[in-house]
C-alpha cells in the first residue's frame, strides 16, 4: 500500500464565522492527517464543515472567518501562519483543488490551453511555448480527445465531463503533493462520473498525489478512498480505513448514513432514515451534537461530549456507546449484515496470514 510518510497534519482546528446572527462554530476541534499517496475521503452532510476544512488548508477562508485555534502542518510549516505571498506559492503548486462545478470554475474568456498552462508559467516561470507544450501533454493525459485541435477552444465548447477533465488538468499540471477534490463529480451524470473517477485513480497512480476527497456520496467513497473521516456538525465523529468504516462502523451517525441509502439490492419497505435535522451551529447543543437525532443516545450524550474511543490502530469513533460501561445496543439490520461481512473478511485475512507464515517457516 502507501508509504507511511505524513505530509499534512491538521491539529485541533477550530474555525468560527462571524455573522449578523452571531458566531457560527463551523469547525469544532478537527484533527486528521494525510499520508503520501493515499486518498482520504471526508464525508458529511451540507453544513458539516467538510468544505470549510479544506478551504482552510488552501488559505481560502472568507473574510469573516476566525481561526480560533489549531494548526495545519504541511511538511514543517503551519499553513495558518503563512503570509499571503507564501500561500500563493502553495496554492496551485503544492496543493491544488478541483471544485464541484466545472461550469463556473473555468474562465469563460480564456482559451483552455492557456488556462492549463497558466499555473506552470506563474509558479515555475516556464516560458509560454514550453508551458503550452506541457499543457498539450496534460490534455492527452486526462483524456481530452483531439487535443492538438482543441487546445485553442473556449470552455463553452466542451461538455460537462470534458470541462471537469480540463479542471483536473489545470490542478495537476504542477504535479501537486495534495489534490483537494470537493465534490468533483456531483454535477455530472453517473456514466461521466465513473469516467472521471477512473481518471483520478489512474492519475494518482502515475503522479502519486495524495487526494482529499470531499463528498456526500458513500458509493463514490467506497470506490475511491483508502481512509474515511465522517464529519457531523463541525466535528469528525468517526475515522478509519475504508473497510472499517463500511463494514465495521461504530458511530450511530455512520450507521444512519449507511442504512439511509438504498443499494441496488435493497428491497422495498421503509428506508432507515435519520430523524430531524442537523443542529444549528450558531448555538451548538451541549454534549454530543448528534444526540437529538440519535435513537441510541445515552443520558451522558446530552451532558458531555464523547471523546474518541479506539476500535483498532487505524479506527476511532467518538461515541459513548464504545465506553466499557455503556449498555450493549443492536445496530440496524443493514449494519449487522455489514459487520458479518467484516468478520468473514478478517477471518480470511488471518488464514491467509497463517498460510503465508507456514510457507515462510518451510
Partner 1 sequence: MELDNAKKVLEVSHLKQYFNVGKRDEVRAVDDISFDIYEGETFGLVGESGSGKTTTGRAIIHLYRPTSGSIKFNGQEIIGMKDKQKMQQFRRDMQMIFQDPYASLNPRMKVKDIVAEGIDINHLAKNDADRSKQVADLLATVGLNRDHASRYPHEFSGGQRQRIGIARALAVQPKFIIADEPISALDVSIQAQVVNLLKKLQRERQLTFLFIAHDLSMVKYISDRIGVLHYGRMLEVGTSDEVYNHPLHDYTRSLLSAVPVPDPEYERTRTQIKYDPKYEDGSKKRELVEIVPHHYVQCSQDEIPMYQERAKSMGLSVK
Q: List residues binding partner 1 (CB under 8 A).
A: 45-46, 160, 189-194, 197-198, 216-223, 242-243, 246-247, 256-258, 260-264, 266, 268, 270-275, 277, 341, 345
Nearer to partner 1, 273 or 314 (CB): 273
Measured at the CA of 254, the angle between CA 218 and CA 11, to 5 degrees, comes to: 95
Minimum distance, C-beta of residue 53 to partner 1, in the bound complex (Å): 17
Q: In angstroms, what is the minimal distance from the CB of 278 to partner 1?
A: 8
CB-nearer residue toward partner 1: 62 or 264: 264
Length of the chain: 362
Instruction: Specify the residue for cell string 474562465.
Output: 107
Residue 253, class by beta-carbon neighbours within 10 Å (0-12 exposed, 13-18 middle, 19+ buried)?
Answer: buried
Q: Is the dihedral of CA 118, 119, 125, 129 positive or negative?
A: negative
Quote the least distance from Cβ 31 to partner 1, whole Å: 24
CA-only gyration radius of the chain, Å: 22
Nearest distance from C-beta of residue 191 to partner 1, angstroms: 5
| CA distance linking residue 151 with residue 165, whole number of Å | 13
Closest approach, Cβ 185 to partner 1, in A, equals 9
- Nearer to partner 1 by C-beta: 52 or 272? 272
Q: Judged by CB, which is closer to partner 1: 119, or 184?
A: 184
Q: Which is nearer to partner 1, 1 or 190 (CB)?
A: 190
Look-up of cell digits 495524495: 210
Please state, as a whole number, how many other Cβ atoms lie within 10 Å of the Cβ of residue 341.
14
Helix (H, G, I), strand (E, B) or coil at 12: strand
From the CB of 129, what's the least distance to partner 1, in Å? 37
| Cβ nearer to partner 1, comparing 152 with 263 | 263
Which is it for strands 95-98 and 178-182: parallel, antiparallel or unpaired? parallel
Amino acid at each position: 500500500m502507501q508509504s507511511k510518510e505524513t505530509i499534512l497534519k491538521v491539529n485541533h482546528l477550530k474555525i468560527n464565522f462571524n455573522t449578523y446572527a452571531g458566531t457560527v462554530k463551523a469547525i469544532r476541534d478537527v484533527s486528521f492527517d494525510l499520508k503520501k499517496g493515499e486518498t482520504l475521503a471526508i464525508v458529511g452532510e451540507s453544513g458539516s464543515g467538510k468544505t470549510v476544512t479544506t478551504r482552510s488548508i488552501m488559505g481560502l477562508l472568507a473574510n469573516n472567518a476566525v481561526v480560533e485555534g489549531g494548526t495545519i502542518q504541511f511538511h514543517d510549516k503551519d499553513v495558518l501562519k503563512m503570509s499571503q505571498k507564501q500561500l500563493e506559492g502553495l496554492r496551485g503548486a503544492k496543493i491544488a483543488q478541483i471544485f464541484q462545478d466545472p461550469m463556473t470554475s473555468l474562465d469563460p474568456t480564456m482559451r483552455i490551453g492557456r488556462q492549463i498552462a497558466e499555473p506552470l508559467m506563474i509558479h515555475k516561470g516556464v516560458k509560454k511555448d514550453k508551458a503550452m507544450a506541457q499543457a498539450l501533454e496534460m490534455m492527452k493525459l486526462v483524456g481530452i480527445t483531439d487535443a492538438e485541435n482543441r487546445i485553442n477552444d473556449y470552455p463553452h465548447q466542451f461538455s460537462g465531463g470534458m470541462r471537469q477533465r480540463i479542471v483536473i488538468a489545470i490542478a495537476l499540471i504542477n504535479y501537486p503533493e495534495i489534490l483537494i477534490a470537493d465534490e468533483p463529480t456531483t454535477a455530472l451524470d453517473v456514466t461521466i462520473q465513473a469516467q472521471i473517477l477512473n481518471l483520478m485513480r489512474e492519475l494518482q497512480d502515475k503522479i502519486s498525489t495524495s487526494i482529499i476527497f470531499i463528498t456526500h456520496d458513500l458509493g463514490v467513497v467506497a470506490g475511491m478512498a483508502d481512509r474515511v473521516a465522517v464529519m457531523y456538525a463541525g466535528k469528525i465523529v468517526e475515522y478509519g480505513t475504508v473497510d472499517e468504516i463500511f463494514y465495521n462502523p461504530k458511530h450511530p451517525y455512520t450507521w444512519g448514513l449507511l442504512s439511509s441509502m438504498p443499494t441496488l439490492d435493497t428491497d422495498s419497505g421503509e428506508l432507515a432514515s435519520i430523524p430531524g435535522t442537523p443542529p444549528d451551529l450558531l448555538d451548538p447543543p451541549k454534549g454530543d451534537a448528534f444526540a437529538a437525532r440519535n435513537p441510541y443516545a445515552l443520558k451522558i450524550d446530552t451532558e458531555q461530549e464523547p471523546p474518541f474511543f479506539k476500535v483498532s490502530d487505524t479506527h476511532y469513533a467518538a461515541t459513548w456507546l464504545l465506553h466499557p460501561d455503556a449498555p450493549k445496543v443492536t445496530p440496524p439490520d443493514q449494519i449487522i449484515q455489514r459487520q458479518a461481512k467484516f468478520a468473514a473478511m478478517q477471518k480470511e485475512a488471518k488464514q491467509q496470514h497463517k498460510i503465508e507464515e507456514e510457507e515462510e517457516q518451510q
